[in-house]
Each structure stands twice: as C-alpha cells, then as structure tokens.
Amino acid sequence: MNTTVVTVDKEHPDAKVMEEAGRVLKEGGLVAFPTETVYGLGGDGLNPDSSRKIYQAKGRPSDNPLIIHIADMESLDKIVKAIPLKARKMAEAFWPGPLTMIFEKSSVVPYETTGGLESVAVRMPSHPVAAALIRAGGGYVAAPSANTSGRPSPTRASHVREDLEGKIDMIIDGGSVGIGLESTIVDFTEDEPVILRPGYINQEMMEDVIGQVKVDRGLLITDENVRPKAPGMKYRHYAPQASLTIVEGKAEDTIAYINTQCAKLKAEGKGAGVIATDETRGSYQAAVVKSIGTRRDEEGIARHLFGILREFDEEKVDAIFSESFDTPKMGQAIMNRLLKAAGHHIIRL
C-alpha cells in the first residue's frame, strides 16, 4: 500500500488536507495523526472493518481494546449507556485533554473496537489536528498509539513512518507531540473510579475534582498473577532490543554502580548504553550516553522517553542502564512506562 505523508501546521491544519483525511476514514481507511499525548492510528470507531484493519496494521492482539476519540460532549451520549456524575465533572475539568474514561458501551459500538468488552474507552483530545480529523471523519475515531505493537509509542511522525509506512493510507505530520506519554485512563464502570494507566493528569489532580480515586492493583504489583484491568497493560511493551536495567539510588551511587557494570561489559567485549540526565551525562564511561534532559524539567523527561528508547535500537549496545525518574508530578507515569520497557528489572541501591 502507498502511504501518503502530509505535513500540516499544528495550530491551523489545512482544511483541504483534513477533508481528504476525513474522507479516508469514512471510507474505512486508516490515518495516523498527532495528538497532545502521542501519535494515534485512526480508523472509524463505529466501523468493525476499520478496527480489524487497525489490529492488523499494528500486529496487535485483538483482545486489546481501542480508545474512541470524540470532538464534543454530544458525541459521548451516543456511544455510552450512561455518564456518571463524577465522569461528567472530570470531563468538565480535563476535556479536551490527555484523559481517557471508561464507560459501559451502547449498542452502536462494535465489539471489534472494544476487544469484545461491554465497556468503551473514550477520549476528547485537545490537539487541533486531532480535533479537526475527528470532525472531518464522522465524529468517532478509534485510535491506539501509532506504533507496531510492543514498540514505544510514537512522539513524532518519523516514528510512525518507521513502524507503519506501507501499511496504512495516510500519515499526518504535525510535528513533535507536547506530552510524550499516553493519556491517563480512568475506569468509571465500577462504584469507585480507578486509574488503569497513569499519565499527565495525575491522581492528585483528579482527586481535587472528584474526591478519592483508586489505582488498579495490577499497576502497583509486579506479580504476574495480578492482571491489570486495562488489557493492554499486561503486554510487554516499549522494550528496546538491548536489555534494559533501571538503577535507583543517590546520584553518586547510581553513577558508580553503572560505571562498574559498563566496565565489566567492556571487558567481555560488549557495548553498554546509559540513559542519563544533563546533570550526570559527563560522569559516565559508557560507549553510548544519552541525556533525557534536565532533572529540573520533568515534562521534558516524559516527552523524551519514548524517542530515546527508539534511538537505542539504532545503536550497537548489548545492555542499557537508566537512571530512575520518580519525579513529583509525572513520576508515576514515567516510571510505569520505564518499568515496562525494562521488564520490571530494577536495581535499588
């Protein structure tokens, strides 16, 4: 398949391009597009064939449900059975934005989109290109992250091209995304709201609006037997080709530990890489040292994480060591992704 790649202005996407992209969606085709979190791979969320195509293009297991993206509150009524009061408050506070909420689905939503579940995940993105595409495409865009299943989510169009060029109809290049980690997911189908995936909107921000919000046990415990409720969270994800180890401790201890490990690997004729910060990058003796940014800017760390993990696949290293980033606001989201990438391999000094 020939994939058309078009570049648009992030704030004011060309109306003709968006109209054409909308037509592709209405005809059952797939369009990758930027959102404020990561790039999405869009199809018509109410068309079962489109959802099947999405799973196929990503190589994604079909029991892993998709998020339906909408552009206004009226659209929500059609695809869910009811909107709990707390969910309405959350929508008022955080939509459009990097928040996904789970509701009981109405009958118009095909099981192909929800991976067979009776519930549906819904998000109203704030990115102008995403909003324009949803409107042009009929109002209901099912979109997982636009990566091959298992790889880090794409934060720029070149990442989407690496994974999906030749497999989808169109890629809309709207530049780099702002947040760089996928949306926070909160389940409203039980009595108490539960966070299924941490993101930019953190627990404290939500509790300020609706009171207590729980965290899915499957996220906190690394026990294989405790299944996370979001089916996607159980899959191995984001992992670079080389083995990745997180090292947690005081900066000087972390540097000493990683340098010792790198020296050992070198003696065995192996190459090591380090995910460092601007503050520490000069202290490592490894073949490849990449800074994720300064510790003073946690949003920058979040934004750069997936790109750095992808970059390491281009390097000839056998092992990668990463510092730990348990930052105040986005730490839970950053560490959730980093731990998954490392297969939960963490050394606590």
Applying CB under 5 A, which residues contact Mg ion?
Answer: 145
* 102 is a site residue for ligand TXA (CB under 6 A): yes
> Shortest gap between Cβ of 256 and ligand TXA (angstroms)?
37
Number of Cβ within 10 Å of residue 32's Cβ equals 31
**Bridge partners, 195 (sequence order):** 186, 215
* Secondary structure of residue 207 in the 3-state scheme: helix
Residues 158 and 11: their CA atoms lie apart, in Å, by 19
C-alpha to C-alpha distance for 334 and 349, rounded to whole angstroms: 20
> 152 vs 273, which CB is nearer to ligand TXA?
152
Quick one: what does residue 290 bind among ligand TXA, Mg ion, none, with the CB cut-off 5 to 8 Å set by partner type?
none
Pair 279, 301: CB distance under 8 Å: no
Show Cβ contacts of residue 239 under 8 Å, excluding neighbours closer than 6 positions: 150, 340, 341, 342, 343
Question: Do residues 298 and 307 touch, judged by C-beta distance below 8 A?
Answer: no
- Minimum CB separation from Mg ion for residue 271, in Å? 29
Under the criterion CB under 6 A, does residue 64 sit at the interface with ligand TXA?
Answer: yes
* Torsion sign (Cα): 64, 177, 148, 238: negative
34 binds, among ligand TXA, Mg ion, none (CB under 5 to 8 A by kind): none
Closer to Mg ion at the Cβ: 6 or 309? Answer: 309
CA 149 to chain centroid, in Å, comes to: 12
Segment lying near ligand TXA (by CB under 6 A), choices 61-69, 275-283, 296-304, 334-342: 61-69
Q: Which does 119 bind (CB under 5 to 8 A by kind): Mg ion, ligand TXA, none?
A: ligand TXA
Map residues 151-190 to x or -, x wherever contact with ligand TXA holds by CB under 6 A. -------------------------------xx-x-----
Q: Name the minimum Å distance from CB 65 to ligand TXA.
A: 3
Give the span between the Cα atoms of 317 and 268, in whole angstroms: 13
| From 50, 51, 114, 261, residue interacting with ligand TXA (rule: CB under 6 A) | 114
Q: What is the DSSP secondary-structure string of 91-155?
A: HHHH-SSSEEEEEEB-TTS-HHHHTT-SEEEEE----HHHHHHHHHTTS-EE--BSS-TTSPPPS
CB contact at 8 A, 315 and 241: no
Note whether 38 and 145 are within 8 A (CB).
Answer: yes
> In the complex, what is the shortest distance from the CB of residue 213 to Mg ion, in angstroms, rounded to a whole number?
22
Q: Which of 210, 230, 244, 286 is in the footprint of ligand TXA by CB under 6 A?
A: 230
Task: Give the nearer residue to ligand TXA in terms of CB position, either 143 or 339.
Answer: 143
Minimum CB distance to Mg ion, residue 191 (Å): 28
CB of 225: closest distance to Mg ion in angstroms? 24
> Which residue lies nearest ligand TXA, judged by its C-beta?
232
Q: How do beta strands 319-323 and 243-248 pair?
A: parallel
The site that binds ligand TXA (CB under 6 A) totals a number of residues, namely: 28
21's contact among ligand TXA, Mg ion, none, with CB below 5 to 8 A by partner kind, is none
Closest approach of Mg ion to the CB of residue 145, in Å:
3
Nearest to 137 by CA among 71, 191, 212, 214: 71
Nearer to ligand TXA, 128 or 232 (CB): 232
In terms of CB distance, is 203 or 245 closer to ligand TXA? 203
Which residues of the shown chain bind ligand TXA in the complex (CB under 6 A)?
35, 37-38, 40, 64-67, 100, 102, 114, 117, 119-121, 123, 143-145, 182-183, 185, 196, 229-233
